[in-house]
Amino acid sequence: MLETPILPAELTIYTAGEVHPLWRAWLTETDHADAPHECRIDAAAVDQIDGAGLQLLISLANSLAARQRTLRLVDASALLVNACQTLGLTALLEVTPCEEVCA
Amino acid sequence: MNQQDSDNSFIAEALPAFISEAREQIEQLEQLLLQLEDDPDDRDLLDALFRCAHTVKGSAGIFGLDKVVAFTHHVETLLDRLREGHLSLNPEISTLLLQSNDQIGKLVAAAQDPQEDSAADLQARAELVERLRVASGDIAVVGTVSAPQASAEAVVAGGARAWHVSVCFGADTYRNGMDPLAIVHYVSGLGAISHISCDFESVPSLDALDPESCHLTLAFELQTAARREEIEAAFSFVRDDCVLHIVEPDASPADIVALIEAMPDFPRLGDILIDAGAISRAQLAQALQIQSAALAPEAPAARLGEILQTTSAVSPKVVEAALQKQQKQREGAAAAPDDNRFIRVQADRLDAVINLLGELVIAGAGASLLARQSRQGSLIEANAQISRLIEEIRNGTLQLRMVPIGETFSRFRRVVRDTAAELGKDVALEIVGGDTELDKSVVERIADPLMHLVRNALDHGLEPPQQRIDAGKPAQGKLTLSACHESGSILIRILDDGRGIQRDKVLQRAWDRGLVEQGVTPPEADILKLIFEPGFSTAEKVTNLSGRGVGMDVVRRNIEALRGSVNIESVPGEGSRIEIRLPLTLAIIDGFLIGVGASKFIFPLDAVVEVIENRPTSGELDAHGRSVVELRGQVLPVVSLRDLYSLESGEPERSSVVVIRSGGRRFGVMVDALLGQHQTVIKPLGRMFRSLRGMSGSSILGNGEVALIFDVHSLSQLAERPPSLTHTPRHLGKTSASASLSQESQPS
């Protein structure tokens, strides 16, 4: 169903309640042995994000980590990159900015 | 468009809540300001003040109430100056802040109907703003909108220091409309944020996640010249339910130890130390490597804490604190959070429950009665159990409506302050028993009469300082508001040490106004009561505070409408004392049911002291049915209900005397039958029976009979009336009372 997962345009407290069950379902569906180790999600569409949305991403990353998988946000929109940098979540992004390396 | 509509409907729904909350904040502001006057250097008070103003400003911003935001901003600026210690609170600033607070109140009140200000409003506001800015020493800086971004660069340049900030947001952060992302953005306006880390472990996995609860925990370093308060202020909207730690740049290890002790949910030692700023991430990585290297050959696992001590010179104390904390977390001693929170409930829902409860009490009493008649032990037992439960529910429910009267009292601080200043008097207000609780509806309706009495005391009672000194009293007058419980009612006293009431002036005025027949002198105790008569005013000069003569009779009417009574005592030259007695609640009381002939009556149980068997009285009953009995060596006045209300029925074989306490006195009431304790739902008597003296209401008994409830205080007054004064009216009253009684007590 969600072969190539894509982040929705709005990832905020207003949509968290809807997105959450979808992601859980997706996680269960793809929870098999030959699932790719690195889970790449297209994050280009995100144009609204808040703390609740980022928290949901962290939660997804945690769930994947529990299954020995990692979350990579691919092609993240500038807004999302900015938000991740603000809250110190650059590890989720595909291109790790220089800042993180230095730290 | 749709978004806009939903926004608008959200605002329409939430606005009343905002207004009621803002009102609370404004009231609190006022109280804090008044407290601050007594203790101008109290840092906590200043902080609380600032937070209140900031909250009002912030939430007004959410609702787009620009006028409130713009005005409150100036107040905030002045408060900030006070907090920084550039200014200290003096009476002028205090008055200015109080007036500004009133202005905020007005603006908030006007939020619901957004009409244009009148020119006068605008001018008044502009004037206040001008004064606020002059007071803040801010006049040169035009339009200081708080823009940390704008000043950030300058700030970093000027002696920026690196603060360690860690914050664990409360679960309700999103639900309260706050966004950690926005808050961090705001903080970044204060200076440069670096090394921000978000604790992934504090966020549960998808399966366990409540997406609308906030689990975010952040730690970062903030390079800024801003002060601690400014950093804290950035978190002020989430301050109440988040755990925030701000560590000084040059914090000693002890501070960091304290920080680790206090941090709630950091699961890993390394993170704890990084977040506390004791070590850097690189240092941790290095230490972890050493740890895993040590683990590999099955060597006794070196403890991370020890490694850290050796590699990065973290002081042993710091590591120990972190280890202890980690240990505690492992023990999982996560006690349930203290849910000492409040729920807002609409008053009418509560009233609906109380009404239903009233019906339940009546139905329960009916069931008990039927059970007793059936003489089935187990049924009686079961009913007794139900009655007990109903009583508990009743007490619990009524408790919900109880509020301390202190809030109403403290509103008078401001009144006293302003009124005294206006009249050139020096008055100290003392509040006693502010935590005495009574029914919310009573509290609400007593505020206006109290206000009038307080103003009266200020205006007429207390003298100007010079007069007081001449009279040998301290220059500062004293006004005391006190409240306490007394035999099932609440007693509110207003005491002043002013000039007292001159009886001859009162009497002269009463003669002039035709309230008392010219030349007739009523008994001493009744003269003062004349001031509660309609159309009475003793003020030689009518001021705009009191003394229009419309007040005191309205005061008495309002109090009597609450089934209360008001009494006044005064000693010329020494002061006056006004006592207001009010029922605790308007809905349900514990009653003591008695019978006289076929009629049933109820006394409030709290007023009943004891019951004795009637014994031969020392004399015959007088025309009012009054007499005395001897009780344990003392004389107890008694009154016979049969004679007082002319109840027509034969004398019973034996009768009892119920000893009642009213005010400071006791008296007995002769009754035929004692029918025991009874939960009583008070039903008002209705307009027709308003003239009925000594009664406060009626109640329907379980079997459908109606019983009248005595108002103990007015019953005692009724029984006290001297025969000479009331001879003719008593006769009239007698017939009307018995007529209404026979109507009331015979169920159709």
Report CB contact under 8 Å: B182, A61.
no
B188 and A CB contact within 8 Å? yes
Coil vs helix vs strand at A49:
strand
Which of these three, B144, B162, B190, is where a domain ends?
B144
Cα(A29)–Cα(A2) distance, integer angstroms: 9
A15 and B CB contact within 8 Å? no
Q: Strands of B472-564 (E only): list them.
A: 477-486, 489-496
Cα(A65)–Cα(B302) distance, integer angstroms: 27
CATH number at residue B434: 3.30.565.10
Window A:78-97, CB contacts with B under 8 Å? 83, 86-89
Contacts of B316 (CB under 8 A, 6+ apart): B309
Same domain, B166 and B263: yes
Looking at the 3D structure of chain B, how many domains does it have? 5
B48 and A CB contact within 8 Å? no
Coil vs helix vs strand at B716:
helix
B179 and A CB contact within 8 Å? yes
| Cβ-contact B222, B165 below 8 angstroms | yes
Partners of residue A17 in chain B, C-beta under 8 Å: 211-212
B579 domain residue, yes or no:
yes
B200 and A CB contact within 8 Å? yes
Cα(B336)–Cα(B207) distance, integer angstroms: 22
The CA-atom distances, in angstroms, between B59 and each of B21, B173, B392, B550 are: 10, 14, 40, 41
Q: Any idea which residue has 């009038």 for tokens?
A: B452
Which among B178, B215, B324, B317 has a CA at the least distance from the CA of B262?
A: B324
A52 and B CB contact within 8 Å? yes
Residue of B nearest to A80 (CA): B181
| Cβ-contact B157, B216 below 8 angstroms | no
Which of these three, B270, B305, B330, is where a domain ends?
B330
Which domain, by its residues, includes B192? 149-330
A59 and B CB contact within 8 Å? yes
Report CB contact under 8 Å: B216, A103.
no
Coil vs helix vs strand at B612:
strand
Q: Mean pLDDT per segment of 10 residues, for chain B of length 748 residues?
A: 64 78 85 82 82 84 80 84 79 85 84 69 82 70 38 46 83 84 84 82 85 86 80 80 75 58 51 55 58 48 50 58 62 46 77 82 83 88 89 80 83 84 86 85 83 84 87 88 83 89 83 79 79 66 46 78 82 88 72 87 86 69 76 84 78 83 80 82 72 77 80 77 45 36 36
Identify the pLDDT of residue B454.
87
DSSP state of B193: E
Coil vs helix vs strand at B571:
strand
Residue of A nearest to B203 (CA): A59
Query: What are chain A's domains?
Result: 10-102 (3.30.750.24)
A98 and B CB contact within 8 Å? no
Same domain, B177 and B325: yes
A44 and B CB contact within 8 Å? no
Burial call B145-172: b when 16+ CB within 10 Å, e when fewer: eeebeeebeebbeeebebbbbbbbbbeb
List, for chain A, all residue ranges whose pLDDT scores fall below the cut of 50. Answer: 1-2, 96-103
Same domain, B593 and B654: yes
Token representation of residue B165 = 């900030």
- Residue B255's identity, in one-letter code, is D
Same domain, B595 and B492: no
Question: Chains A and B: how many Cβ contacts under 8 Å?
Answer: 89
Sheet holding B673-681, edge to edge: B673-681, B588-596, B599-604, B706-710, B695-700
Report CB contact under 8 Å: A51, B182.
yes
Report CB contact under 8 Å: B174, A62.
no
Report CB contact under 8 Å: A62, B281.
no
Pick among A87, A89, A98, A102 to test the B interface (most B CBs inside 10 A): A87
Contacts of B472 (CB under 8 A, 6+ apart): none
Same domain, B114 and B184: no
Q: Quote the ipTM score.
A: 0.85
B341 domain residue, yes or no:
no
Sign of CA dihedral A90, A91, A94, A100: positive
B654 domain residue, yes or no:
yes
Q: Any idea which residue has 């009653």 for tokens?
A: B591
Tell me the shortest Cα–Cα distance from B309 to chain A, in angstroms.
Answer: 21
Q: Which residues are bridge partners to A6 per DSSP?
A: A42
Coil vs helix vs strand at B243:
strand
From the list B207, B218, B281, the residue facing A24 with the nearest CB is B207
From the list B181, B218, B281, the residue facing A103 with the nearest CB is B281
Same domain, B84 and B215: no
Identify the pLDDT of residue B493.
92
Partners of residue A49 in chain B, C-beta under 8 Å: 181
Token representation of residue B468 = 């007081």
Report CA Rg, chain A.
Answer: 13
What pTM value is reported for the model? 0.46
Residue B186: its H or E element: helix B180-188
Window B:324-383, CB contacts with A under 8 Å? none
Report CB contact under 8 Å: A61, B200.
yes
Identify the pLDDT of residue B256.
58
B337 domain residue, yes or no:
no
B339 domain residue, yes or no:
no
Report CB contact under 8 Å: B204, A59.
yes
Report CB contact under 8 Å: A55, B204.
no
From the list B196, B206, B215, the residue facing A60 with the nearest CB is B206
Which of these three, B144, B170, B203, is where a domain ends?
B144
Residue of B nearest to A57 (CA): B206
Residue of A nearest to B283 (CA): A103
Same domain, B130 and B163: no
Same domain, B599 and B741: yes
Pick among B172, B181, B279 to test the A interface (most A CBs inside 10 A): B181
Identify the pLDDT of residue B278.
54
| Cβ-contact A88, B218 below 8 angstroms | yes
Identify the pLDDT of residue B734.
37
Report CB contact under 8 Å: A51, B212.
no
CATH number at residue B41: 1.20.120.160
B336 domain residue, yes or no:
no
| Cβ-contact A31, A67 below 8 angstroms | yes
Same domain, B434 and B497: yes
Residue B731: its H or E element: helix B727-745
Same domain, B536 and B407: yes
Same domain, B680 and B716: yes
Tell me the shortest Cα–Cα distance from B208 to chain A, in angstroms.
Answer: 9
Residue of A nearest to B177 (CA): A13
Q: Which residues are bridge partners to B431 per DSSP?
A: B481
Partners of residue A88 in chain B, C-beta under 8 Å: 195-198, 218, 220
From the list B169, B173, B198, the residue facing A58 with the nearest CB is B198
Report CB contact under 8 Å: B211, A61.
no
Pick among A48, A62, A93 to test the B interface (most B CBs inside 10 A): A62
B340 domain residue, yes or no:
no
From the list B174, B185, B207, the residue facing A52 with the nearest CB is B174
Report CB contact under 8 Å: A58, B204.
no
Partners of residue B184 in chain A, C-beta under 8 Å: 86-87
Which among B696, B662, B480 has a CA at the least distance from the CA of B578?
A: B480
Tell me the shortest Cα–Cα distance from B216 to chain A, in angstroms.
Answer: 7
Identify the pLDDT of residue B340.
52
B706 domain residue, yes or no:
yes
Which among A60, A44, A38, A52 has a CA at the least distance from the CA of B181?
A: A52
Token representation of residue B360 = 């339940």
CA angle B407, B412, B416 (to 5 degrees): 160
Query: Which burial class, exposed, middle or buried, applies to B604 when counting CB atoms under 10 A from its CB (0-12, 13-18, 19+)?
Result: buried
Same domain, B359 and B426: no
Cα(B698)–Cα(B696) distance, integer angstroms: 7
